[in-house]
Amino acid sequence: MPTFPTAGSRPDRPHRHNSRLAVVSAVTAAVGIALIACGQGGGGTAHPAPDVEMADDAAMPRTGRPAAPLKPSEPTGLRIPAAGVDAASMLRLGLDADRELQVPPVDEAAEPGWWTGSVTPGEKGAAVIVAHYDTVNGPALMRDVARIGVGDAVEVPRADGGTARFEVREIQQVDKEDFPTHKVYGATGRPELRLVTCGGPIVGGHRSDNIILYADLVS
C-alpha cells in the first residue's frame, strides 16, 4: 500500500531537470512502480462505483506537428469535460519506500495528484497524473472515466496562470500486474500527459486494473 502524502509531509518537487531524468530512469528500471494501487473499492461504509470496463483499448495516430512545449509550471487543477471532472487543486506525489507511486489519500479522493518526478504538464516529456476511480468511501474523481473517448480534451491549469490543453490519443486498460511501466514513464520528445486511474472488478478489496489515458499537448 503506498504511503499517502499529507499536508505537512508531501514530497518536495525536484529542482533540476536532470534530477527528474535520473528519477525517471530509476523508475523505469524498478518493477515496484508497475503497481499503482489507486482504487480501493471494498470494505468501506459507502457503496463503491460500478465495475468499469472501457469498451475497447483505442488509439489514434500522433499529429504530425506537436504543439510547442510550455515552460515549467506546476499544475493547479484538472478538467475533463467529457467525464465531468473539474478539480481546482492538485496534490504533489512522490514514491514510497517500495518505489511505488503514491496516490491521493482516501480523504482527498476528489483531488488528482501530479508525480513530482515527472515534468510539469505542458513541458517536453511525459507528465504523470494519478486520480482515484473510487475508494473505500465510494465513487471518486474519475468515477465517470468510461465516458472519456479518444479525441476528448484534458485541461490542466498551471501556476503561471495558463492552461495546458491536451487531447486524448490513446486509452488503455490493463491488469495491474501487466502495467506498461516503460510506456507510461519512458522518455518522449513531445509534451504529453499520462493520466492513470483504476478500473475492472474489485479483487481482494482493490480494483484489478489500471486505466491509462495518453494525451498530447495541443495548446
Beta bridge partners of 135: 138
Domain membership of residue 197 as a residue range: 38-217
**103 domain-assigned:** yes
pLDDT tens-digit profile of 53-95? 875 566 777 766 789 999 999 999 999 999 999 999 999 999 8
Which is more confidently placed, 48 or 114? Answer: 114
CATH, residue 106: 2.40.260.10
Beta bridge partners of 139: 134
pLDDT tens-digit profile of 2-48? 322 322 333 333 333 443 444 444 444 443 444 455 555 444 556 78
**28 domain-assigned:** no
Q: What predicted TM-score, i.e. pTM, was given to this entire model?
A: 0.82
**30 domain-assigned:** no
H helix runs in 50-187, sequence order: 181-185
**131 domain-assigned:** yes
The answer to which of 48-52, 108-112, 140-144, 181-185 has the lowest mean pLDDT is: 48-52
| Residue 156 cell numbers, joined | 490542466
Cα separation, 151 vs 59, whole angstroms: 9
